[in-house]
Structure 1
Amino acid sequence: NRTERTGSLGCIGWFIVILSGIFTICLAPFTIWFCLKIVQEYERAVIFRLGRITDRKAKGPGIFFVLPCTDSFVKVDLRTVSFDIPPQEILTKDSVTVCVDGVVYFRVSDPIASVANVSNADFATRLLAQTTLRNVLGTKNLSELLSDREGIAHSMQTSLDQATDDWGIKVERVEIKDVKLPHQLQRAMAAEAEASREARAKVIAAEGEMNASRALKEASLVIAESPSGLQLRYLQTLSTIAAEKNSTIIFPLPMDIISHFMRK
């Protein structure tokens, strides 16, 4: 833990530190340039004194002081870093092999932990991202992988963030970039989608025919109840034909007139 890292230097350690301080003071005009260090606004410095971390908090930004003979320091960049997850061949829960890649955004939240708890926080985070991608996607079906990328990315981000917390790393965001399917599966899915579209089109056409039949049935019932309505329809048809300037005009005779002549 951090208390152990900042423990006592011991008698010999303090003797060396005091001797180094005296040496620095005596040669101040020359050693001052080796004692003053600068870190940028986005950086922090973790100082080691005789191999031990000197403080519970990293130094910076700005100027800080080190003893030239006993102190060393490591600069840690606090800016957000992104990296691509190389394409990974993954077997989904329903036994489909897919190739998936992604991108991860992370930053150092604890400079001391990122230096003391892991040899290379950046490299370790990259390797962990690859294994996490395979582990998370291995529990998903292909349909879930294609339709719920955002949920999968959030699950990966949570898992990575928890795993890298001891390294002083904060995983801010994970994105699934591309999901590549085998060519045979792509053709099968395309054929299935086309068949589904054709089936929907047939259903829509059948519904249209059914609605048209219902409308014709209702119209025939209305006409049967009102013979004069049929005569008006005849006249409207005659007007339409006459407006088109045809040479032949067909005039429909009312049915009651024809029946009258037939009785005679």
Structure 2
Amino acid sequence: MIPFVIRVIYQYEKGLMFRLGKFAGTREPGLTIVIPIFEEMRKVDMRILTLDIPKQSVMTKDNVPVSVNGVLYFKVVKPEDAVIKVQNYEYAMNMYAQTALRDVVGAMSLDDVLSERTAIGNKIRDVVDEGTKEWGLDVTDIKLQDVEVPDDLKRMMSRQASAEREKRATIIKAEGDKMASQNLADAAKVMTSTPGGMQLRALQTIDGLGPTASNTVIIPLPLELLDGFKDLAASLRSMKDYKDAKKGDKK
């Protein structure tokens, strides 16, 4: 009687059967009989797997040193290739991803590295997926996690950001002052073109001051009104001179 062993293959696995050292086929989930000495079965996880890409020190295109790490998601699509064509596909995938990350980040400027993480991750994914396709692997996604820059560069970037915020605030204030001045100029044109408009505005201002004893109100008078006062004063002086002259004649 030939001894045998019953092995269980789970739903998320595939079994690779080797008979006398040669690949003998793939086993589906369920129970599988394995004959010791003559046969050996290796199980392969078909789920999406996660690999941590350790921190990589890279010099960017504009000669700025940065440290970048990330995470890689992949799955096995051809288990026989993943086992037969590469010794340890998880380790090989991790090494390939580290190399691709350094190459892609090293070809970009610091500004692009900081602002285009998704695009960089997609580019690294395409490079790694193309290079590991013959291993029976499919790279689903790569995400950059942390991008670290030197401390002195961080301080410089912080000062630059503060200066940029102050610049925007100054521009906004200047635009607001310009708009307010334009509105005042338009209002002045309307009031001067309307008969009695300036006088009405002056009365509204006086009414808004309130009955406070400490308020000192200076009312500007139109030049036309001052000219009228001058004419009235001149007339009064003429009348006084005329009366004085008549009194002198009677004497």
Q: Who is 1:158 aligned against?
A: 126
Name the CA distance, whole Å, in 2 between partners of 1:253 and 1:190.
Answer: 52
Q: How big is the shift at 1:141?
A: 0.8
Say whether 1:47 aligns with 2:30. Answer: no
Deviations 1:51-98 (A, max 9, x none): 11112xx20200123333421111111122212111110011111110
Q: How big is the shift at 1:251?
A: 7.8
Q: Who is 1:177 aligned against?
A: 145
Say whether 1:167 aligns with 2:135. Answer: yes
Residue type matched to 2:10 in 1?
A: Q
Residue type matched to 2:14 in 1?
A: R
Match of 1:213 among 150, 162, 181: 181
Contact 1:113/1:168 (<8 A) preserved: yes
Name the CA distance, whole Å, in 2 between partners of 1:198 and 1:175.
Answer: 34
Q: How big is the shift at 1:119?
A: 0.7
Q: How big is the shift at 1:253?
A: 7.2
Q: How big is the shift at 1:216?
A: 2.3
Name the CA distance, whole Å, in 2 between partners of 1:87 and 1:74.
Answer: 32
Deviations 1:166-188 (A, max 9, x none): 11112111110000001111111
Q: Matched residue of 1:68: which SS?
A: coil
Q: Who is 1:245 aligned against?
A: 211
Q: How big is the shift at 1:263?
A: 1.7
Residue type matched to 1:246 in 2?
A: T
Q: Matched residue of 2:62: which SS?
A: coil
Q: How big is the shift at 1:254?
A: 5.1
Name the CA distance, whole Å, in 2 between partners of 1:39 and 1:87.
Answer: 36
Q: How big is the shift at 1:249?
A: 7.2
Residue type matched to 2:18 in 1?
A: F
After superposition, the CA RMSD in angstroms is: 1.8
Q: Matched residue of 2:86: which SS?
A: coil
So what's the TM-score if we normalise by structure 1? 0.81
Q: Matched residue of 1:101: which SS?
A: strand
Listed as ranges, the gaps of 5+ residues in structure 1 are 1-22, 25-30
Count of matched residue pairs: 230
Name the CA distance, whole Å, in 2 between partners of 1:235 and 1:224.
Answer: 15
Q: Who is 1:229 aligned against?
A: 197
Contact 1:39/1:62 (<8 A) preserved: yes
Name the CA distance, whole Å, in 1 between partners of 2:119 and 2:157.
Answer: 23
Deviations 1:84-119 (A, max 9, x none): 111110011111110001011112111111111011
Q: Who is 2:161 aligned against?
A: 193
Listed as ranges, the gaps of 5+ residues in structure 2 are 233-251
User: CA 1:45–1:253 in structure 2 vs 1: closer, same or farther (change >3 Å)?
Assistant: closer
Q: Who is 1:37 aligned against?
A: 7
Name the CA distance, whole Å, in 1 between partners of 2:218 and 2:161.
Answer: 53
Q: How big is the shift at 1:47?
A: 0.6
In our comparison, the structure showing a higher alpha carbon Rg is: 2
Name the CA distance, whole Å, in 2 between partners of 1:92 and 1:68.
Answer: 55
Sequence identity percentage: 36
Residue type matched to 2:12 in 1?
A: Y
Contact 1:91/1:138 (<8 A) preserved: yes
Where does 1:10-29 land on structure 2 (aligned, <5 Å)?
A: 23-24=1-2
So what's the TM-score if we normalise by structure 2? 0.85
Q: Who is 2:114 aligned against?
A: 146
Name the CA distance, whole Å, in 1 between partners of 2:191 and 2:181.
Answer: 15
Contact 1:238/1:251 (<8 A) preserved: no
Match of 1:102 among 49, 52, 70: 70
Name the CA distance, whole Å, in 1 between partners of 2:216 and 2:57.
Answer: 76
User: CA 1:227–1:251 in structure 2 vs 1: closer, same or farther (change >3 Å)?
Assistant: farther
Say whether 1:122 aligns with 2:90. Answer: yes
